[in-house]
């Protein structure tokens, strides 16, 4: 399964600004992501389609082509939602953001998974890894450093990138990494960053009851 495959809920998926969007509710979107993670040999890249994406694709045809090959979840703020409804009255009513979708996905995944946090700011990805590991301690959350040789397989890789150039560099580095799903978070995880990065210490394995997800 990939971004051009079976995620569509109808034969005519909603299209905004030339891109097809995944029109699913929260539980269905999280369940779809879980299914993609399980298909390690068939990588899918997920992005959040928002105001920044619209502007980028208008200025960069290469980026527009990249988006067309990804699974796109509708995002954006209130203004984006109003504009989307003006352009297409039946546009997706549910919108997503990295700061809410990623923690929810980690909670939704009840079994242990190996999760990589990739970025170019070593201190930031370490802080994000520690924060997400505390949020869902039954997962193995690993920071993927800029100069690190990546030989391990990951179930899920989250890309933290402050701009498009950084995102492209990280994506090239990850091209040979074995994984089922790559989530392009942009800088959307800034809202969940701890105010002061925790001091690094050896991680202990922490048992945790499996969460319920309604």
Q: Which class for 136: exposed (0-12), middle (13-18), buried (19 or more C-beta within 10 A)?
A: buried
Angle between helices 98-108 and 26-38 (to 10 degrees): 60
* pLDDT-derived band at 205, boundaries 50, 70, 90: very low
Span 173-199, average pLDDT: 82
The whole-model pTM stands at 0.80
| pLDDT on residue 19 | 83
| pLDDT on residue 146 | 85
H/E segment holding residue 186: strand 181-186
CA distance 136 to 190: 18
| pLDDT on residue 85 | 63
Assigned CATH class of 15-192: alpha beta
Residue 119 CB neighbour total at 10 angstroms: 26
DSSP secondary structure string for all residues of 168-181: HHHHHHGGG---SE
**Strands across the sheet containing 140-144:** 71-74, 44-49, 181-186, 156-160, 114-118, 140-144
CA distance 49 to 101: 13
Span 124-142, average pLDDT: 95
| pLDDT on residue 84 | 59
- Which residue did the predictor score with more confidence, 180 or 8? 180
Q: Which of 95, 72, 102, 71 lies closest to 1 in space, CA to CA?
A: 71
Reduced to 3 states, what is the DSSP secondary structure of residue 15? strand
* pLDDT-derived band at 182, boundaries 50, 70, 90: very high
User: Is residue 104 a contact partner of residue 26, using CB atoms and an 8 Å limit?
Assistant: yes
Residue pLDDT, tens place only, 51-105: 888 878 888 888 899 898 999 998 866 666 666 566 555 555 678 999 999 999 9
């Amino acid at each position: 399964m990939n971004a051009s495959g079976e995620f569509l809920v109808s034969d005519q998926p909603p299209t905004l600004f030339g891109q097809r969007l995944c029109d699913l509710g929260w539980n269905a979107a999280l369940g779809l992501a879980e299914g993609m993670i399980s298909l390690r040999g068939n990588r899918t890249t997920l992005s959040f389609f928002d105001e920044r994406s619209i502007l980028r694709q208008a200025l960069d045809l290469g980026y527009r082509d990249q988006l067309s090959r990804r699974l796109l979840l509708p995002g954006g703020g209130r203004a984006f939602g109003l504009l989307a409804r003006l352009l297409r009255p039946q546009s997706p009513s549910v919108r997503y953001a990295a700061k809410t979708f990623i923690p929810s996905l980690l909670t939704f995944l009840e079994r242990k998974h190996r999760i990589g946090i990739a970025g170019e700011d070593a201190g930031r990805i370490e802080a994000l890894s520690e924060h997400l590991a505390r949020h869902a301690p039954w997962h193995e959350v690993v920071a993927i450093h800029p100069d690190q040789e990546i030989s391990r397989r990951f179930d899920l890789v989250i890309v933290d990138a402050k701009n498009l150039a950084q995102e492209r560099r990280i994506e090239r580095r990850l091209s040979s990494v074995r994984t089922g799903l790559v989530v392009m978070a942009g800088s959307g995880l800034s809202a969940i960053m701890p105010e002061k990065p925790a001091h690094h210490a050896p991680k202990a394995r922490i048992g945790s009851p499996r969460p319920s997800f309604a």
